[in-house]
């Protein structure tokens, strides 16, 4: 498991752009037109029980040079509920916001052909949630830290960002990123990473980031995901 000091979390939009551009291009030989590219961003805030999803569609062999694709109104759904449509110039954004416990099985449904809105494709996704409850309440800067973060080890394309935000706003917040794949469902923070923290009371929380992509006949799906845990109070000591 790779660990790096990291002081800026990568925005979802940036992750989505990077991945969307690198997605494998499917063969269009079996289709009369280029495939649909579905680019989604999912975020869950455990403290607020807020689940949000944004979805945009393109048509083309890649994002570069792609054209807009707009399914009929009311034909795009997230977890079985219709997503709200908003025009953004040439393109359209589909959005969903809800208060709910985190569903580890997520689902988008939409048509690939605007002329056949009832013929829908389903994109199924599974993400493992994480918890910050096992972060020690007292953390020594001089000792390696290890704590439970979730049921499963990190997979390829996944990472966990550990945030330490001082109660004293004049002090500098620190973030440490642990990148998968991992062999354990525990997060290990070595001493060299801990020495960057400032002593004193902090709020600590975890953000899991994941990238999923898939290629089907007529569809390239590109999904970025973030899960934010509830914060916990910790004290950093020398």
pLDDT digits (tens, 9 = 90+) for 30-49: 446 889 999 999 999 999 99
* pLDDT above 60: residue 28: no
Could you tell me the pLDDT band of residue 205, with boundaries at 50, 70 and 90? very high
pLDDT of residue 115: 86
Q: What's the fold here for domain 138-209+231-237? A: Immunoglobulin-like (2.60.40)
Q: What are phi and psi of 20, to 5 degrees?
A: -60, -40
Q: Rounded to whole angstroms, how far apart are CA atoms 229 and 207?
A: 6
b/e per residue 47-82 (b: at least 16 CB within 10 A): eeeebbbbbbbbebebbeebeebbbeeebbbbbeee
Confidence of residue 65 (pLDDT cuts 50, 70, 90): confident
Single pTM value for the model: 0.82
Is the pLDDT reported for residue 29 higher than 70? no
The residue with greater pLDDT, 11 or 97, is 97
The reported pLDDT for the residue numbered 61 is 86
Choose from 19-23, 27-31, 64-68 the range with maximum mean pLDDT. 64-68
């Amino acid at each position: 498991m790779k660990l790096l000091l990291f002081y800026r979390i990568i925005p979802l939009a940036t992750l989505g752009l990077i991945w969307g551009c690198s997605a494998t291009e499917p063969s269009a030989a079996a289709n009369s037109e280029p495939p649909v590219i579905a680019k989604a961003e999912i975020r869950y805030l455990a403290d607020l029980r807020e689940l949000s999803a944004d979805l945009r569609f393109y048509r083309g062999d890649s994002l570069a040079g792609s054209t807009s694709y707009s399914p009929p109104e009311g034909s795009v759904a997230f977890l079985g509920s219709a997503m709200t449509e908003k025009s953004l110039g040439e393109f359209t954004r589909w959005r969903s916001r809800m208060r709910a416990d985190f569903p580890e099985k997520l689902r988008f449904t939409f048509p690939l052909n605007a002329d056949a809105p009832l013929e829908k494709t389903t994109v199924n996704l599974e993400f493992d949630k994480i918890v910050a409850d096992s972060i020690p309440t007292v953390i020594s800067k001089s000792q390696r830290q290890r704590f439970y973060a979730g049921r499963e080890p990190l997979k390829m394309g996944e990472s966990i960002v550990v945030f330490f935000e001082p109660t004293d706003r004049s002090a500098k917040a620190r973030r440490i990123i642990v990148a998968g794949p991992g062999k354990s469902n525990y997060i290990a923070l070595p001493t060299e990473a801990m020495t960057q923290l400032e002593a004193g009371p902090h709020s600590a929380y975890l953000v899991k980031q994941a990238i999923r992509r898939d290629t089907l006949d007529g569809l390239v799906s590109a999904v970025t995901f973030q899960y934010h845990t509830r914060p916990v109070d910790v004290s950093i000591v020398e």
